[in-house]
Structure 1
Amino acid sequence: MEKKLGKSLQKIAVVGPESTGKSYMAKHLAREFDCFYVPEYSRYYCQGLERNYTMTDEVNIFHGQVAMEDGFLDVVRQSLLMCDTTILTVKIWSDHLFGYTPGNVLDEIRRRNYDFYLLMDIDLPWEDDPLRDFPNKRAHFKEIWRTELRSLNADFQIIRGLGEERLQNGIRAVNEFLHTVDS
Structure 2
Amino acid sequence: MDNPLIKIVVTGPESTGKTEISMHLSSLLGEKYIPEYARSYVEQLDRRYTYEDVEHIASVQLKQLKDAERDTNQVIILDTFLIITKVWFQEVFKRVPDWITPVLKDSGIDLFLLCNIDLKWVEDPVRENPGSRRAYLFERYMNELEELGVPWEIVRGRGTERNVNAQKAILRHFHYLHNRIK
TM-score (structure 2 length as normaliser):
0.92
Asked whether 1:109 is paired with 2:78, we answer no
- 1:125 corresponds, among 117, 120, 127, to 120
Structure 2: distance between partners of 1:115 and 1:179: 13
User: C-alpha offsets along residues 43-102 of structure 1, whole Å, 9 cap, x if unaligned?
Assistant: 22111112221110110001111111212222112x111111111211110000011101
SS in 2 for 1:103: coil
**Mapping for residues 1-183 of structure 1, pairs under 5 Å:** 8-77=4-73, 79-136=74-131, 137-179=133-175
Identity %: 33
Gaps in structure 1 of 5+ consecutive residues: 1-5
Shift of the alpha carbon at 1:107? 2.2
Shift of the alpha carbon at 1:33? 1.1
Structure 1: distance between partners of 2:76 and 2:58: 19
TM-score (structure 1 length as normaliser):
0.91
Structure 1: distance between partners of 2:31 and 2:11: 18
Judged with a 3 Å threshold, the aligned counterparts in structure 2 of structure 1 residues 150 and 180 are, in CA distance, closer, same or farther, namely: farther
Please tell me the root mean square deviation across aligned C-alpha atoms, in Å. 1.7
Shift of the alpha carbon at 1:180? 7.9
Shift of the alpha carbon at 1:181? 9.0
Structure 1 runs, 4 residues or longer, greater than 2 Å off: none
Which residue is 1:3 aligned to? none
Deviates more, 1:143-152 or 1:164-173: 164-173
Shift of the alpha carbon at 1:174? 0.9
Structure 1: distance between partners of 2:89 and 2:165: 30
